[in-house]
Amino acid sequence: MSEWTEAQRALFERLDRLSITHETRRHAPVFTVAEAQALRDDIPGAHTKNLFVKDKKGRYFLLVLEETAEVDLKQVHGLIGASGRVSFGKPDALMEYLGVEPGSVTSLAALNDREGVVTVVLDAALMKNDTINAHPLSNDATTSLSSADLIRYLQDCDHDPLILKLSS
């Protein structure tokens, strides 16, 4: 496997600076929840799925849920304070604001959104888990950290996350 990218090194340095305990494991790239589920025996904790969406006024949201959670995209706008129904954000906006490609969307990409364009919304059910697993800016590795440390990390990235009941 290749070395860590400059962006990944910056991510790990930020976690270290915050004294956040984290462990990152390399694996084959995973593009779907089904592919990622093969890793469950090797990587304990809650695994996430991330939905990058935008509302009618062009506001962006990153919805972070447990991988098997269901969310009603026709209704979620009312929960998150969006203007009208949400739709999936385009890949170019994902790269512009979060610095990641489709398949690698992650709450840890908040460090790339220096302008605070994206509102991070964490599902309350996900946050009941002690350990949260997320991609470290690419889908060929998984980083594990505590749910409390994820919140602390996001706040340090100037993204005070909303914690709401998103899943049904």
Q: Taking 80 as the threshold, does the pLDDT of residue 34 lie above it?
A: no
Q: Is residue 147 part of a domain?
A: yes
Q: How confident is the model at residue 150 (pLDDT cuts 50, 70, 90)?
A: very high
Helix (H, G, I), strand (E, B) or coil at 163: strand
Tokens of 37: 């589920």
Query: Which pLDDT band holds residue 35 (cuts at 50, 70, 90)?
Result: confident
On average, the pLDDT of the chain sits at 94
Q: How much is the pLDDT for 36?
A: 75
DSSP annotation of 80: H
- Identify whether the C-beta of residue 153 lies closer than 8 Å to the C-beta of residue 109: no
Q: What is the pLDDT of residues 51-96, one digit of tens each?
A: 999 999 999 999 999 999 999 999 999 999 999 999 999 999 999 9
**Domain enclosing residue 81, as ranges:** 6-164
Q: How far is residue 34 from each of residues 39, 47, 92, measured CA to CA in Å? A: 10, 12, 25
Q: Give the percent of the chain with pLDDT over 70.
A: 96
The average pLDDT across 129-154 equals: 96
- Is 125 within a domain? yes
CA of residue 142 relative to chain centroid, distance: 11
CATH number at 22 reads 3.90.960.10
What predicted TM-score, i.e. pTM, was given to this entire model?
A: 0.94
Confidence of residue 43 (pLDDT cuts 50, 70, 90): confident
The answer to whether residue 51 is domain-embedded is yes
In whole angstroms, what is the distance from residue 145 CA to residue 20 CA?
7
CA distance 151 to 153: 5
In a domain, 75, yes or no: yes
Residue 53, in any domain of the structure: yes
Instruction: Specify if 1 maps to a domain.
Output: no
Domain count, the chain: 1
Q: How far is CA 109 from CA 15, 52, 66, 73, in A?
A: 12, 11, 17, 22
Q: What is the predicted pLDDT for the residue at 2?
A: 60
Backbone φ and ψ for 84, nearest 5 degrees, come out as 75, 180
Whether residue 99 is contained in a domain is answered as yes
Comparing 103 with 109, which gets the higher pLDDT?
Answer: 109
pLDDT, position 31: 76
